[in-house]
Amino acid sequence: MNIPKLRIVFMGTSSFAVPALEALHLAGETIAAVVTQPDRARGRGGKTSPTPVGGFAEENGMLLLKPERLKDNGDFARALTEAAPDLIVVASYGKLLPKALLDFPPLGCVNIHASLLPEYRGAAPIQRALLDGKKETGVTLMYMGEGLDAGDMIAAARTETADMNAGMLTDRLARLGAGLLLENMQAIADGTAPRVRQDAAKATYAEKIGKAEGHIDPAAPTDEAVRRVRAMNPAPGAYLLRGGARIGVTKARAVGTGDDGMEASRAAYETAAPGTVLSVSNMGISVRTGDGVLLIEELQMPGKRAMAVADYLKGNAFGADGPLS
């Protein structure tokens, strides 16, 4: 692939952005600076650590900028002027860019967004697509303008969601986005890249996911529960409650009462209320839902790591008494 040599400022924060930065680096582009969110306390221990993009930049000796704000920030403005980018590439940065920054590089700013625009503009396109049961999604490479993910589109790549969870789908879309960026770099450099206006009438918004949205309603349809488990894994996590204790669910699927190994649930199913534990075995924990049976195959008990139900049962019991809510 013939990649033009440009001076690029890369702006990104989450793991979704790392493959694109890595692809530009391996292609020999000049990464004049990397801009990411400031270090924050992360994980259970609350240890301060860099963002995934920040970590990659540090490991590869790139100039790293971590501004608290982009607007009215003299230090950041001076650093950007010194970097003198031809192009700014953005992926999962997490903040809107002010107009002065959008207008700064000669070739403009391009963004890799994890949806098939104009669907799922906003902060959580991957999780919202899975929650909605989308069988297909993708990434869009776009020119940035004022407004949330509303700029002209350059190109898009599609993929099936299959049975992936949000973490798996994020990895796939990140790789697709990196490839899409490299494929279009020459056209961006010489000004021949397409500029397809989005149909605003078809736009949908993917608002940020809250922790409370991880709660699985056992009275809801089984398919909805499965979608929630996939969408909330790895974060913020799907869960059920039992006696006030939160039981994390990291993998689950719908099963029929006549499936192999489900004899115990077949007898109890008709009279059971949603949330009733029908059977517990190495296959998993079967739970009555609003219209069927959810088989929990992996769980995370309070204070424990996520594990297969079969592994959990080797040293622990999960009684069938008491409903899940």
97 and 240 together in one domain: no
- Whether residue 146 is found in the same domain as residue 295: no
Q: Is the pLDDT of residue 209 over 70?
A: yes
97-104 long-range Cβ contacts below 8 angstroms, 24+ apart: 97/11, 97/70, 97/144, 98/70, 98/71, 99/146, 100/71, 101/70, 102/144, 102/145, 102/146, 104/80
Q: Which domain does 119 fall in, by range?
A: 7-202
29 domain-assigned: yes
Question: In the structure, what pLDDT confidence band is assigned to residue 167 with cuts at 50, 70 and 90?
Answer: very high
| Cβ atoms of residues 154 and 235 within 8 Å | no
Q: Does residue 324 belong to any structural domain of this protein?
A: no
Residue 264 lies in a domain: yes
Show the tokens assigned to 73.
Answer: 């920030």
Query: Domain for residue 218, yes or no?
Result: yes
Q: Does residue 323 lie within any of the structural domains?
A: no
Q: How many domains does the chain have?
A: 2
State the pLDDT at residue 43.
Answer: 63
Among the candidates 174, 202, 230, a domain finishes at 202
Residue 261 included in any domain: yes
252 and 174 assigned to the same domain: no
Same domain flag for 154 and 92: yes
- Co-location of 139 and 257 in the same domain: no
Domain end position, chosen among 146, 180, 202: 202
Do 184 and 155 form a contact (C-beta atoms < 8 A)?
yes
How does residue 141 score in pLDDT terms, banded at 50, 70 and 90? very high
Of 160, 177, 202, which residue sits at a domain end? 202
Q: Are residues 174 and 242 in the same domain?
A: no
Q: Is the peptide bond before 274 cis (omega within 30 degrees of 0)?
A: no
Please tell me whether residues 79 and 14 are part of one structural domain.
yes
Same domain, 119 and 258: no
CATH of the domain at 87: 3.40.50.170
* Beta carbons of 7 and 30 less than 8 angstroms apart: yes
pLDDT band at 4 (very low <50, low <70, confident <90, very high): confident
Kindly state whether residues 89 and 156 are assigned to the same domain.
yes
What does the pLDDT read at residue 59?
97
> What does the block give as tokens for 297?
């195959």
* CATH for 263: 3.10.25.10
Q: pLDDT tens across 10-45, in order?
A: 999 999 999 999 999 999 999 999 999 998 876 666
Q: How far apart are CA 86 and CA 26, in angstroms?
A: 18
Same domain, 20 and 163: yes
pTM of the model as a whole: 0.93
306 shares a domain with 237:
yes
Q: Would you mind telling me the total number of residues written for the chain in this entry? A: 325
Q: Are residues 174 and 244 in the same domain?
A: no
Kindly state whether residue 89 falls inside one of the protein's structural domains: yes
- What average pLDDT is seen over the chain? 93
Q: Establish if 299 belongs to a structural domain.
A: yes
Contact 139, 113 (CB under 8 A): yes
Mean pLDDT of 167-178: 98
- pLDDT at 112 (0 to 100): 98
